[in-house]
């Protein structure tokens, strides 16, 4: 799974669950009467939308901070003493960012990992981060690295994290709504004195379950946006470099063991079957084919 989406979804589930627990503890009304089993649909839907969009926007606000902490990203400050190679990475990100029309340059970082990976995240175009792994920098030539960085900058320029947040807010709304309904149904199967406890616990469990199912929709949107980021990367770095970057990634994928046949470089996944529903990125061969056809 791509880092950008992983951080966002993980934070979203944690934030959403925390909000629901806090509101339940303080007895905030949800439009459900546990005593009678009556459901006020408009009130419950409003409650769900407020929590759902609050959860997604809080997750967006935390995305850059969480990415830095989880991946131990070392931010490359242009004003610091950087090695020539580190400075070249910063200059590439800034050059593509200016070409993409960004007025505030993203933070640039490197994190230590053998995986061939890169990601972009952040709450807005003016507050973003592009990070690359040491594995990617050590495995790819200059043109391929430029293609990867251009792809990540394109994600920022396209505003993909914001559109992802809006979609996640809608998904969260239905997650909260149906988890409350399912929890109410579950509470009807126990005696009255246990209904409150069952409703509370099952509500949390259903929230996590439905969040996982809802991620299928989010992942489908992510796969769709990857094609746009590839096209944006081709516009910024050049079509040949973007194709070369993807072909380099394909070569790396072909070298790994079949038991590890999915690699998250530029959020790549070549998984087949039902697992593809949870893949944040489309098939690499299809991405190459679409770029070649442009």
Catalytic residues: 152
Give the C-alpha separation, 28 to 9, whole Å: 25
Burial of 69-96, coded b for 16+ CB within 10 Å and e otherwise, reads eebebeebeeeeebeeebeebbebbbbb
Q: Which two tokens stand for residue 171?
A: 């998904």
Mapped onto helix, strand or coil, the DSSP state of residue 250 is helix
CA proximity to 200, closest of 11, 48, 69, 27 = 27
39 by DSSP, 3-state: which? Answer: strand
User: How many Å separate Cα 67 from the centre of its chain?
Assistant: 10
- Dig out the tokens for 144 from the structure: 């391929």
């Amino acid at each position: 799974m791509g880092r950008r989406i992983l951080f966002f979804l993980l934070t979203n589930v944690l934030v959403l669950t925390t909000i629901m627990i806090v509101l339940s503890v303080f007895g905030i009304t949800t439009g459900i009467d546990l005593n009678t089993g009556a459901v006020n649909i408009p009130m419950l839907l409003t409650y769900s939308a407020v929590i759902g969009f609050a959860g997604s926007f809080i997750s967006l606000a935390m995305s850059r901070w969480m990415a830095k902490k989880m991946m131990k990203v070392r931010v490359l400050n242009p004003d610091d003493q950087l090695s020539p190679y580190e400075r070249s990475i910063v200059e590439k990100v800034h050059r593509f960012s200016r070409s993409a029309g960004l007025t505030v340059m993203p933070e640039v970082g490197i994190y230590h990992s053998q995986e061939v990976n890169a990601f972009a995240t952040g709450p807005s175009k003016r507050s973003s981060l592009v990070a690359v792994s040491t594995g990617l920098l050590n495995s790819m030539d200059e043109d391929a690295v430029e293609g990867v960085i251009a792809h990540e900058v394109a994600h920022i320029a396209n505003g993909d994290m914001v559109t992802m947040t809006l979609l996640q807010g809608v998904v969260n709304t239905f997650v909260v709504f149906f988890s409350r309904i399912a929890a109410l149904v579950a509470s009807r199967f126990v005696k009255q004195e246990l209904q409150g406890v069952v409703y509370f616990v099952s509500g949390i469990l259903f929230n996590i379950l439905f969040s996982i199912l809802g991620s299928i929709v989010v992942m489908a949107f992510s796969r769709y946006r990857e094609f746009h980021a590839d096209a944006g990367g081709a516009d910024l770095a050049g079509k040949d470099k973007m194709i070369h970057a993807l072909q380099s990634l394909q070569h790396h994928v072909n070298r790994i063991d079949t038991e590890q046949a999915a690699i998250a470089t530029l959020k790549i996944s070549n998984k087949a079957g039902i697992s593809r529903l949870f893949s944040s990125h489309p098939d690499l061969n299809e991405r190459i084919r679409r770029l070649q056809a442009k």
